[in-house]
Copies of this chain bind each other. A is one copy, B any other.
Amino acid sequence: MLASERKKTRYCNMAIVLYELAGADPGLRFSPYCWRSRMALAHKDLTVRTIPWRFSEKQALAFSGQGRVPVLKDGNKTVVDSWAIASYLEERYDDRPSLFGGEMSHAHVRFMNAWTDTVLNPGIARMVVRDVLDALDSKDKAYFRKSREERFGMKLEQVQAGREERLPELRKMLEPVRIALGEQDWLGGDDGPSYADYILFGSFQWPRCISKFELLAKDDVLWGWRERMLDLFGGLGRSAKTVY
């Protein structure tokens, strides 16, 4: 964090601050997990000041006791991890539109969250992880390549190779979401989006921001859902900076 940033935070410590992953262009915000928090804040109609953060800026997050984003600061309260942030916002701002719709519902969304983290996001990573590298700040590139190549056990170029041929497999993986969205406008029902929608939206906003590679077919029910998501909150998602 810059000294000027720190000062600002100190002087208006009631403002909500969100640390978000950024690319070489500080306006390029593409982390699926940060998008979850960003949409959750908008759902609660809360004003937020976002701070661009790069993988190599571990020191800037030292105050949070860990080194990953999103990190939320709300006055004196610091919350890390997208799920914890959503749960915090729901409880702290319980007079505002609900993200979950009750305790049992909050519990139900955990499965969706875990599925997205462990199945869908790794699947999408295999489509765009090499494109991510291009968008990163030069000081992040070596770390990103090394850590992700260790995770996948191969070069980033190999991970992403043949993505056109693998696209049907990814689309098949989305079948349970497709079935749910075939029955209702949002994962949260017909009345409007819930945090479940923001979880899934993050996974699509990520490739949308850092790659030209299109994951969805126009006749997919998911395409229409994503269009509705992009329109929410005055086009918050649609107006996001992209690499193209």
**Which of chain B's residues has its CB closest to A189's CB?**
B107
User: Is there a chain B Cβ closer than 8 Å to A93's Cβ?
Assistant: no
Contact A175–B108 (Cβ < 8 Å): no
Contact A179–B108 (Cβ < 8 Å): no
Contact B188–A107 (Cβ < 8 Å): yes
How many copies of this chain sit in the oligomeric assembly?
A: 2
Partner-binding segment picked from A55-63, A109-117, A131-139, A215-223: A109-117
Contact A191–B103 (Cβ < 8 Å): yes
User: Is there a chain B Cβ closer than 8 Å to A180's Cβ?
Assistant: yes
User: Is there a chain B Cβ closer than 8 Å to A147's Cβ?
Assistant: no
Q: How far is the CA of A221 from the CA of B5 in the complex (A)?
A: 44
Q: Which residues of B contact A187 (CB under 8 A)?
A: 107-108, 110-111
Contact A104–B105 (Cβ < 8 Å): yes
Q: Report the minimal beta-carbon distance from A224 to chain B, rounded to whole angstroms.
A: 17
0/1 interface trace, chain A 166-195, chain B, CB 8 Å (1 if under): 000000000111111001101111110010
User: Is there a chain B Cβ closer than 8 Å to A153's Cβ?
Assistant: no
Q: Which residues of B contact A117 (CB under 8 A)?
A: 176, 179
Q: Which residues of B contact A113 (CB under 8 A)?
A: 180
Q: How far is the CA of A101 from the CA of B102 in the complex (A)?
A: 7
Q: Report the minimal beta-carbon distance from A184 to chain B, rounded to whole angstroms.
A: 5
Q: How far is the CA of A113 from the CA of B112 in the complex (A)?
A: 11
Provide 5 A-B residue pairs closer than 8 Å at the C-beta atoms, listed in order of the A residue: A98-B104, A101-B104, A105-B108, A107-B188, A108-B196
